[in-house]
Amino acid sequence: MDNQDKKSILISFGGNLRQLRLAKGLTQEQLANELGVEISQISRIERGVINTSITTLYAISKALEIDVSEFFVFDAN
């Protein structure tokens, strides 16, 4: 997996997170508060700027009550 692949995965992942968070009616601030992280961290994950950890992924999936696999459903380009 090269850096371009990683960037593309992070952007798709972040877009999925944003969509699923909004579908649950949560603001970035509300999700950040539930996780106990800074709102800027949620923003950076959703913009694909940071490659978050599996424990943060797990915490997000619990907070949104969404299976972790849903964040990795990417459209074929």
Binding site for its own copies (CB under 8 A): 1, 6, 9-10, 13, 35-36, 51-55, 57-59, 61, 67-69, 71-72
The encoded tokens of residue 71 equal: 């964040």
**Shortest Cβ 50–its own copies spacing (Å):** 9
**Shortest Cβ 10–its own copies spacing (Å):** 7
CA 35 to centroid of chain Cα atoms? 12
Q: In 15-28, which positions are buried (b, 16+ CB within 10 angstroms) versus exposed (e)? A: bbbbebbeeeebeb
Q: Which residue lies nearer to its own copies by CB, 26 or 37?
A: 37
